[in-house]
Amino acid sequence: MLFKTLLILLGLIGLSVPIAASLGWLGLILQYTDSPMPLYRAISDLAWQTSTDFLLVAIPMFVMMGEILLRAGITERMYDSIVKWLGWLPGGLMHSNIGSSALFAATSGSSVATAATIGTVALPQIKKRGYNESLFLGTVAAGGTLGILIPPSINLILYGLLTNTSVPELYLAGFLPGFLLALLFMSTVIIACLLNPKWGGEKLRHTWLERLGALPSLLPPLGIFAVVVGSIYAGIATPTEAAALGVVAAMLLAFANGKMSLGMMRQAAEGTMRTTAMIMLIIIAAVFLNFVLSIIGLTQALTDFVTGLGWTPMQTMLMIVAVLVLIGCFMETLSMLLTMAPLITPIVVALGFDPVWFGILLMVLLETALITPPIGINLYVVQGIRQGGPMNDVIKGALPFVITMFVMLGLLLVFPGLALWLPSLVY
């Protein structure tokens, strides 16, 4: 049954059927072939229950916050400020790409938005400053993945909803791994530029007076982060309410920068509706598919099969990681999260692993999927912004950071406290 399910799903994806339709059709096919009940009658109830879940209201709120911030005019100033603080390192602006991505990820919650925003600002500097183009493109693609892991993250909200895991705990758990991964990315750049100094481009020098003068440009994104995440842990707001507060703060920021207008808000609203409609359609299709898989017994059968192998928990976890890395090469990350999390999390919990820890491990796996060909979304985002040149440049530039992702996965497997230490202090 599992082989048939995977074969049908891969076949639909291979035929370029949109992922929401692929998940929905897979659920319909399985319920007709493997269930004695007409499960399609449950679609309307499932769609209503899913789309009215209070936690999911946070998704359009976070999307709108990101849309407004994109148009609020803070990105260029934030990037220039980080250049002054990180530009002296071997690799110069490539560290600014990663640092800016980490900071923007802490406000937008979206990897694609992070890669697109930072890429738009950074890519014109490649030829101007004499950087190795491939590695520079790789830093933008890899830095953009941090939007999945560093709170507030839409993907962590979805994981919490799908697995009944506390979102505030997941947010706390994502802090250390998220910023540690950013440091590992920067270390990768330093090693590459020390091995080949020509890749590092023009040396940048800034005085301490210039650095201190640039600090005010970092306050807007840090302020948004404090409003959203701080309100959750101060007990003032739930994640959904915190997202709404973030939208209000983003609007105030746009007003302060002179960017607030009816036209700008209309564009932000249109972008929010498009993105939210896409996400919700995929979610509803995935929820229906997961319902069918549960009814026909595939979820329990898979759990029994894996736990019955007689492997140690760590051996089983390594197998799960390897399978998810392979799946990530061929499946879009949101679809991967929505289909795999409900299937695999019960197995992980049965093996004795913490679901919060596994949520962070899964986010790193999703980040890896964002920059692994042939379906690495961030690779295509960066190539689209670049508007020319072979796609292989982006793929080659991202490869060192894929290896860095594997290092991060290894650290989480060996030291689960990286994800669990902060939640243990609060909960």
Tokens representing residue 415 in the block? 């030291």
pLDDT band at 364 (very low <50, low <70, confident <90, very high): very high
Confidence at residue 28, expressed as pLDDT on a 0 to 100 scale: 77
Annotated domain spans of the chain: 2-9+40-426
Helix axis angle for 355-370 and 391-414, nearest 10°, is: 160
Confidence at residue 37, expressed as pLDDT on a 0 to 100 scale: 64
Does the pLDDT value for residue 227 go beyond 80?
Answer: yes
* Residues 73, 259: Cα–Cα separation, whole Å: 7
For 198-219, write each residue's pLDDT tens digit.
Answer: 887 777 778 888 888 888 888 8
Does the pLDDT value for residue 301 go beyond 80?
Answer: no
User: Is residue 369 within 8 Å of residue 337, measured between CB atoms?
Assistant: no
Confidence at residue 354, expressed as pLDDT on a 0 to 100 scale: 95
pLDDT band at 40 (very low <50, low <70, confident <90, very high): low
Confidence at residue 189, expressed as pLDDT on a 0 to 100 scale: 92
Quick one: average pLDDT of 344-355? Answer: 90
**Three-class HEC string of the chain:** CHHHHHHHHHHHHHCCCCHHHHHHHHHHHHHHHHCCCCHHHHHHHHHHHHHCCHHHHHHHHHHHHHHHHHHCCCHHHHHHHHHHHHCCCCCCHHHHHHHHHHHHHHHHCCHHHHHHHHHHHHCCHHHHHCCCHHHHHHHHHHHHCHHHHCCCCHHHHHHHHHHCCCHHHHHHHHHHHHHHHHHHHHHHHHHHHHHCHHHHCCCCCCCHHHHHHHHHHHHHHHHHHHHHHHHHHCCCCCHHHHHHHHHHHHHHHHHHCCCCCHHHHHHHHHHHHHHHHHHHHHHHHHHHHHHHHHHCCHHHHHHHHHHCCCCCHHHHHHHHHHHHHHHHCCCCHHHHHHHHHHHHHHHHHHCCCCHHHHHHHHHHHHHHHHCCCCCCHHHHHHHHHHCCCCHHHHHHHHHHHHHHHHHHHHHHHHCCHHHHHHHHHHC
Q: Measured on CA atoms in the order 303, 304, 305, 311, is the torsion positive or negative?
A: positive
Which range among 117-121, 175-179, 271-275, 294-298 shows the weakest confidence by mean pLDDT?
294-298
Confidence at residue 6, expressed as pLDDT on a 0 to 100 scale: 66
Query: Global pTM?
Result: 0.83
Does the pLDDT value for residue 363 go beyond 90?
Answer: yes
Query: Residue 219: exposed, middle, or buried by beta-carbon count in 10 A (0-12, 13-18, 19+)?
Result: middle
Q: How many CB atoms lie within 10 A of CB 233?
A: 13
